[in-house]
Amino acid sequence: MTHETRWVKKVSLPPPSLGDNTADADRLAAALKKSLGTRTIHMDLDLLRRLPALLREWNYRATAVLFKDGGGNGILAHLAAPDSADTLCGLAVDLGTTRVVLRIIDLFTGTHMGESVFDNPQVAVGPDVLARIHHVEKPDGLHQLNRLIVDGINDALRTLCDRCGISRANIHLTAVAGNTAMTHLLMGLNPRWMIREPYIPAVNRPGVIAAAELGIDLHPTARALVFPNVGSYFGGDLIAGILYCDMDQREDTAILVDVGTNAEVVLGNRSWMMACAGAAGPALEGGVTRMGTTAGPGVIDHIAIDPDSMALDIHTIDNQAPRGICGSGVIDLAAALFRSGMIDIRGKLLPDRCGDRFKLKDGLGHLTLVPAGQSATGQDLGITQADLDSLVRAKAAMYTILETITGSVGMQPQDLETFFVAGTFGAYIDPASAITIGMLPDLPLACYHNLGNSSLGGATRVLENPACFDRVKHIRDGITYMELNVNQDFMNRFSAARFLPHTDTSRFPSVRWPAA
Residues that bind a copy of itself (CB under 8 A): 16-18, 20-26, 29, 38-40, 42, 45, 48-49, 51-53, 56, 69-73, 187-190, 192-193, 197-207, 209, 213-214, 229, 231-232, 483
User: Do 91 and 77 meet the contact criterion of CB atoms below 8 Å apart?
Assistant: no
Smallest gap from Cβ 382 to a copy of itself, in A, equals 42
Q: Rounded CA gap, 211 and 186, in Å? A: 11
Q: Within 10 Å of residue 444's Cβ, how many Cβ atoms? A: 11
Smallest gap from Cβ 310 to a copy of itself, in A, equals 50
Smallest gap from Cβ 4 to a copy of itself, in A, equals 21
Burial bucket for residue 128 (CB in 10 Å: 0-12, 13-18, 19+) = middle
From residue 406, alpha-carbon distances to 225, 249, 412, 426, 446 in Å are 32, 19, 5, 20, 20
Nearest residue (CB) to a copy of itself, 114 versus 231 = 231
Q: Rounded CA gap, 97 and 145, in Å? A: 12
Smallest gap from Cβ 334 to a copy of itself, in A, equals 35
Nearest residue (CB) to a copy of itself, 30 versus 312 = 30
Q: Rounded CA gap, 259 and 242, in Å? A: 14
Q: Rounded CA gap, 418 and 247, in Å? A: 10
Nearest residue (CB) to a copy of itself, 13 versus 330 = 13
From residue 337, alpha-carbon distances to 348, 354, 368, 426, 514 in Å are 10, 9, 12, 22, 9
Smallest gap from Cβ 96 to a copy of itself, in A, equals 21
Smallest gap from Cβ 203 to a copy of itself, in A, equals 4
| Residue whose C-alpha is closest to residue 221's, from 175, 172, 174, 187 | 172
Nearest residue (CB) to a copy of itself, 97 versus 229 = 229
Smallest gap from Cβ 94 to a copy of itself, in A, equals 22
Smallest gap from Cβ 206 to a copy of itself, in A, equals 8
Nearest residue (CB) to a copy of itself, 277 versus 402 = 277
Residue 56, SS3? helix
User: Do 339 and 346 meet the contact criterion of CB atoms below 8 Å apart?
Assistant: no
Nearest residue (CB) to a copy of itself, 24 versus 344 = 24
Nearest residue (CB) to a copy of itself, 96 versus 235 = 235
User: Cα(first)–Cα(last) distance of the chain, in Å?
Assistant: 61
Nearest residue (CB) to a copy of itself, 50 versus 348 = 50
Ordered DSSP codes for 335-398: HHHHHTTSB-TT--B-HHHHGGGEEEETTEEEEEEE-GGGSTTSS-EEEEHHHHHHHHHHHHHH
Smallest gap from Cβ 68 to a copy of itself, in A, equals 10
Ordered DSSP codes for 186-208: HHT---GGGGSTT---S-S--EE
Nearest residue (CB) to a copy of itself, 439 versus 472 = 472
Q: Rounded CA gap, 496 and 502, in Å? A: 6
